[in-house]
Amino acid sequence: MPHRDQEISLLRRELELLMGERQALLRVVGGAAALIASLDSKRLPVGAVEAADVVATGINCLSEETLQDALSAVHAEIEADSATA
């Protein structure tokens, strides 16, 4: 039994690390989503537009639930008209 308890403890620590990393990644994605939604692509240099497109493409691949978690992590909301502009 002590071996099993040790395995459970290790798994618990690993899960806590992964959940902490998920929260950090959600904050990054939420901030990036809010930033991308507020950009005016007509005023950006070409390199910035290309980088924003890479980020936006990645964000668009997320599930709706994950995106909402990310926006909640940074207390951001994206308005419908700014997301489609």
User: Domain containing 60: what range?
Assistant: 2-84
Encoded tokens for 31 = 């901030």
Domain total in the chain: 1
CB of 78 within 8 A of CB of 35?
Answer: no
Sign of CA dihedral 11, 17, 19, 22: negative
Q: What is the pTM of this model?
A: 0.79
Per-position pLDDT tens, the chain of length 85? 789 999 999 999 999 999 999 999 999 999 999 999 999 989 999 999 999 999 999 999 999 999 999 999 999 877 654 444 4
Full DSSP string of 11-48: HHHHHHHHHHHHHHHHHHHHHHHHHHHH--GGGS-HHH
CB of 71 within 8 A of CB of 77?
Answer: yes
Nearest to 28 by CA among 77, 72, 70: 70
